[in-house]
């Protein structure tokens, strides 16, 4: 089937788990319209009830919030602490190839008044898992993606915390599975199946690493989860999610700084600034599915009413599919590959229904409309 694009934003029909209505609108745009008429007061009441169940009257921590120092985790932490009177413990899993602006943003966030746990996985172990993720799943930071779920839940169990708050449920907000649209929490099974794309066990097995080496990358067993009654929530269920508002709040209250230039493959400079591997991730997303970071960013701006579809289309044509040349030597050193081997892996993941190879370039056989 030939690819097509959302009639409202620029989401592409090749996006995993996406759906479209009879008017050609993707489920992210349908959801964005639905949110405008939702009874958010009812969900706000559910949030209050959820938080009240976990308030620690003894003065300890109430919940756990994964953060990177970026806009979304900072916003959620700020709302919990300063609006709802909670005492969150924040946690970061150190990524491979962190960037200076991301490191500074995390320091600024902590300095703005948060208790924080920094997990630094063995870099050799993460390198192996990320390399397996790159080769076998086309997912160059897959090891880190595992850890920001498994290690975070382990920290919650170790601190005897039962409530974990992530930012947005990306499937609902950006076009994917809608099965959790009426559920305030998700399960570990859902995280494995959707967020980790059913690759968790495969990558651990293919890595050849021992259980001791991969201890941070394993979910607690069912008995441990039941003992702690772990609830994994997303803030976007309870409040109309607006990434740009999050950025403004994080900038004002948590010291968020923008990158000095627009990020690779897009026109924005205030999001996903923590690690160099993200640029490779979205480039591989472009090769696999035909859309990149600019499509994602433009869709967000279109759905929030800050940009027309035509403006977004021009930006997508200008930025999508740009390879992050500035990081190439970094990638080759990190994955311990020569240039030919590295690009052979990328070639493997290029969708031949969407691209043809012209020398050293992948040429799209489509044009967003």
Q: 228 and 343 share a domain?
A: no
Residues 153, 301, single domain; the answer is no
Q: What angle do CA 29, 34, 37 make, to 5 degrees?
A: 140
Let me know if residue 340 belongs to a domain.
yes
In the block, tokens 């639905």 appear at: 34
What single string gives the DSSP state of each residue in 138-175?
Answer: S-TTHHHHHHHHHHHHHHHHHTT--EEEES--HHHHHT
pLDDT at 356: 92
133 and 266 co-located in one domain = no
Q: Which of 222, 237, 252 is the last residue of a domain?
A: 237
190 plus 87 within the same structural domain: yes
Same domain, 86 and 123: yes
CA dihedral 266, 270, 273, 274 (to 10 degrees): -150
Alpha carbons 103 and 109: distance in angstroms, whole number: 10
**45 and 111 together in one domain:** yes
- Residue 178 exposed, middle or buried by CB count within 10 Å (0-12, 13-18, 19+): middle
338 and 358 fall within a common domain: yes
**Domain for residue 6, yes or no?**
no
Q: Which residues span the domain enclosing 355? A: 29-37+260-363
Q: Splitting the chain (369 residues) into consecutive groups of 10 residues, what average pLDDT does each group show?
A: 92 95 95 92 95 83 95 96 97 96 96 98 98 97 95 94 93 90 88 90 95 95 81 94 94 93 82 89 96 94 95 94 94 97 95 88 90
- Structural domain includes residue 13: no
Considering the domain boundaries, does residue 253 fall inside one? no
Whether 65 and 185 share a structural domain: yes
Number of folded domains that form the chain: 2
- Residue 140: CATH number of its domain: 3.40.50
Q: Is 77 among the domain residues?
A: yes
At 57 the pLDDT is 62
Is 273 a domain residue?
yes
d(CA 204, CA 191): 16
Q: Quick check: is 18 in a domain?
A: no
Cβ(283)–Cβ(265) under 8 Å? Answer: yes
Residues 359 and 344 in one domain: yes
Q: Please report the pLDDT score of residue 224 as a whole number.
A: 80
- DSSP assignment letter at 79: I
| Structure token digits, residue 361 | 């370039």
SS3 354: coil
pLDDT of residue 156: 94
Residue 295 and residue 175 share a domain: no
Is the same domain home to 143 and 289? Answer: no
Residue 255 included in any domain: no
Q: What is the pLDDT at residue 357? A: 86
Same domain, 175 and 44: yes
Tokens of 237: 């269920």
């Amino acid at each position: 089937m030939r690819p097509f694009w959302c009639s409202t934003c620029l989401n592409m029909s090749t996006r995993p788990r996406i759906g479209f209505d009879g008017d050609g609108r993707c489920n992210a745009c349908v959801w964005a319209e639905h949110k405008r008429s939702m009874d958010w007061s009812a969900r706000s009441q559910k949030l209050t009830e959820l938080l009240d169940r976990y308030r620690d009257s003894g003065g300890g921590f109430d919940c756990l919030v994964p953060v990177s120092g970026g806009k979304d985790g900072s916003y959620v932490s700020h709302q919990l602490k300063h609006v709802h009177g909670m005492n969150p413990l924040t946690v970061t899993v150190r990524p491979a190839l962190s960037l200076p602006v991301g490191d500074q943003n995390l320091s600024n966030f902590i300095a703005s008044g948060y208790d924080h746990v920094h997990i630094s996985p063995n870099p050799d172990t993460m390198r192996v898992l990320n390399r397996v993720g790159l080769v076998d799943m086309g997912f160059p930071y897959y090891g880190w993606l595992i850890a920001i779920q498994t290690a975070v839940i382990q920290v919650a169990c170790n601190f005897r915390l039962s409530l974990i708050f992530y930012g947005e449920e990306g499937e609902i907000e950006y076009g994917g599975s809608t099965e959790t649209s009426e559920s305030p929490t998700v399960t570990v099974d859902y995280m494995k199946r959707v967020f980790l794309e059913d690759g968790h066990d495969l990558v651990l097995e293919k890595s050849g690493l021992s259980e001791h080496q991969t201890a941070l990358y394993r979910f607690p067993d069912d008995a441990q989860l039941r003992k702690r009654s772990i609830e994994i929530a997303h803030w976007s269920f309870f409040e109309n999610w607006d990434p740009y508002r999050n950025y403004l709040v994080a900038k004002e209250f948590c010291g968020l700084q923008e990158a000095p230039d627009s990020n690779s493959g897009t026109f924005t400079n205030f999001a996903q600034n923590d690690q160099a591997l993200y640029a490779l991730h979205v480039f591989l997303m472009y090769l696999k599915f035909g859309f990149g970071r600019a499509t994602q960013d433009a869709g967000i701006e279109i759905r929030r009413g800050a940009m027309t579809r035509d403006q977004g289309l021009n930006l997508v044509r200008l930025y999508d599919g740009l390879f992050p040349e500035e990081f190439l030597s970094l990638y080759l050193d990190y994955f311990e590959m020569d240039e030919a081997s590295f690009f052979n892996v990328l070639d493997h993941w290029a969708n031949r229904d969407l691209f043809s190879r012209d020398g050293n370039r992948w040429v799209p056989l489509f044009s967003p409309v």
